[in-house]
Amino acid sequence: MTDIQIQARTTSQASPLTGVSRVLSQVLNNRGVTSDAALEHSLKRLLPPNGLTNIEQAGVLLAEAVMAGANVVIVGDFDADGATSCALAVRCLRAFGLQNVSYLVPNRFEFGYGLSPEIVGVAAMRQPDIIVTVDNGISSVSGVHAAQALGMSVLITDHHLPGEEIPTADVIVNPNLPGDRFASKNLAGVGVIFYVMLAVRVQLRKQGWFQSEGVAETNMSQFLDLVALGTVADVVPLDANNRILVQQGMQRIRQGQGCAGIQALLTVGKRNAARLSSSDLGFAVGPRLNAAGRLDDMSVGIECLLTDDPDKAMALALQLDELNKERRNVEQSMQQDALAVVEKIELDDTAETPPIFVLSDATWHQGVVGLVASRIKERTKRPVLALAPSDADGEWKGSARSVEGVHIRDLLARVDALHPNLILKFGGHAMAAGLSVRERDLARFKRVLHDVALEMTANHDWSQIVWTDGALQSDEFNLELADQLRTISPWGQGFPEPVFEGEFKVVDSRVVGETHAKLVLQPVGGEQQVDAIFFGYLDTHAELPSGTIRAVYRLDINEFRERLSLQLMLQHIE
């Protein structure tokens, strides 16, 4: 088993912030926030678009398309970032006055990812003047060639890392292009298209379009609800610029100004829009959108985000909720299969824990392997690759999730360099990657991957540190602090939600929902008792905790029949 240590964050730049409590000041200092100005999430502090390479050319291309009444097709991606990007592009161009704008999302099981030549063929039936990619395209070399050969212009908007060959699109906007000067490289796909639309509005303004056509000049902040959702759901690092985008979007949703689809998805997910947190977007809305792309057709999710009819939005949100329930059932079954394999390895006293768990099953669903890899990674604290048969004859598709210090894409690149053509294609980044292999090569691929992982992790320290923001004093267990932590800033990747540590006496414990531990805890040295819950505790533990425990937790507010109460969300018990 992996050694897990609890350790409090410390900072050498402790700088008390005005107007916030001791705890909040400490939490923000721990995340590099040392000035009051950094707490101001005003749009005037947003990075200007002109730092993005080719942003002006993109603005000109689409502004001319709007003014000419061109036929524009948006080609999206089948995840929540792709869905929000697609909805934003369509909504915004329509608001600018363009009537002939539509979207197309590749079905992941039929066409795969990105602007492939096959999806260009589908788009060509609509006879577009311009194809605009959102959240994809930077690796679509052959797709761009195919589109241009048919006389279409191509604008790529993407945020993924480019490969060795960059497509010959008419214009590319991507903060990760070589030489790009934009200060934030962490924009999600929806953030990139938002910036492009800002540039389009600038060009339309220069041409006097709004006055001459009697079109109301668009207030771009109305699209920030979509930007917030896509940014949080895609788990990109929440640097200062992304925090502004997310906080502003969340504020609109809290004020009832979000689109009908987001409101409906929050309602279906039993979340209070007026008390929205970034975790609501990440754990209630995002998964329901993603379920459409994993199991069915992402256009269901995009239509939900495009409609202004609350009844239609609710009907689509309920459809997405059913898909999400189906996804959970599929995932749970696959996860049980995977855990059985892992437990068999762990129970073998003669076997060493492998440097990477490679799990596959002919009955698994290719749209859900990434979620299974993520769950097993959390359990084993090792990189995990899960594979399932693809619809392509004789191919398997895999999704990998890694741990800190093991760059999963580099590992796959090493396999590819040593054994060319063993992997059909792969891509990704340090913590996540995807690939496809031939069924006949699967056993050999597993052996090679294990050997390469063993070599590349020879000096890796597998012990895991659970980082906390220290301990709370007995009088700091209160609703006021929990509410401040929820609203002061959006939390997420690179700007983690505050977690605390402490010793508690277990006053009461019971099982809820089969595997969740519901506890009543009393801080050691204090008199107050507080409710706590540990989701999935019995998935990895034989019995409920008792006696005195050391726990890592975050403060949360439980809302039941309009009554608010403090609740600890436990994440680790020692």
129 vs 119: CA distance, rounded Å = 15
* Beta bridge mates, 495: 492
Q: Are 137 and 115 in contact (CB under 8 A)?
A: yes
124 vs 146: CA distance, rounded Å = 10
> Which positions ≥6 away from 228 have C-beta within 8 Å?
245, 246, 247, 248, 249, 250, 252, 253, 278, 281, 490
CA nearest neighbour of 253 among 230, 218, 231, 277: 277
Cα 28 to Cα 32, 59, 146, 245, 297, distances in angstroms: 7, 37, 49, 18, 40
Q: Is 351 exposed, middle or buried (CB count within 10 Å of its CB: 0-12, 13-18, 19+)?
A: exposed
Alpha-carbon Rg for the chain in angstroms: 24
For each of the domains in the chain, give its residue range(s) and CATH number, in order of start. Answer: 4-34+466-573 (2.40.50.460), 49-323 (3.90.1640.30), 352-462 (3.10.310.30)
Question: Which pLDDT score, from 0 to 100, does residue 2 have?
Answer: 58
What is the CB neighbour count within 10 angstroms for residue 12? Answer: 5
Question: Which pLDDT score, from 0 to 100, does residue 489 have?
Answer: 80
* Beta bridge mates, 550: 503
Question: Which pLDDT score, from 0 to 100, does residue 349 have?
Answer: 67
103 vs 74: CA distance, rounded Å = 4
- What's the 3-state SS for 181-242? CCCCCCCCHHHHHHHHHHHHHHHHHHCCHHHHHCCCCCCHHHHHHHHHHHHHHCCCCCCHHH
10 vs 466: CA distance, rounded Å = 13
> Which positions ≥6 away from 52 have C-beta within 8 Å?
173, 175, 180, 182, 192, 195
Question: Which pLDDT score, from 0 to 100, does residue 325 have?
Answer: 95
Question: Which pLDDT score, from 0 to 100, does residue 19 have?
Answer: 77
pTM for the structure as a whole: 0.91
Question: Which pLDDT score, from 0 to 100, does residue 410 have?
Answer: 92
DSSP 553-571: EEEEEEEETTEEEEEEEEE
Tens place of pLDDT for every residue, the chain, 574 residues?
A: 457 889 999 876 677 788 788 899 899 999 988 888 777 889 999 999 999 999 999 999 999 999 999 999 999 988 999 999 999 999 999 999 999 999 999 876 677 678 999 999 999 999 999 999 999 999 899 999 999 999 999 999 999 888 889 999 999 999 999 999 999 999 999 999 999 999 999 999 999 999 998 889 999 999 999 999 999 999 889 999 999 999 999 999 999 999 999 999 999 999 999 999 999 999 999 999 999 888 888 999 999 999 999 999 999 999 999 999 999 999 999 999 999 999 888 777 666 889 999 999 999 999 899 999 998 998 888 999 999 998 777 899 999 999 988 999 899 999 999 999 999 988 777 888 889 999 999 999 999 999 999 999 999 988 888 899 999 998 999 999 999 898 888 999 889 999 999 999 999 999 998 889 999 999 998 889 999 999 988 877 889 999 999 999 999 998 887 789 999 999 999 8
- What's the 3-state SS for 133-154? EECCCCCCHHHHHHHHHCCCEE
Cα 479 to Cα 321, 429, 485, 529, 564, distances in angstroms: 31, 39, 10, 14, 8
* Beta bridge mates, 510: 518
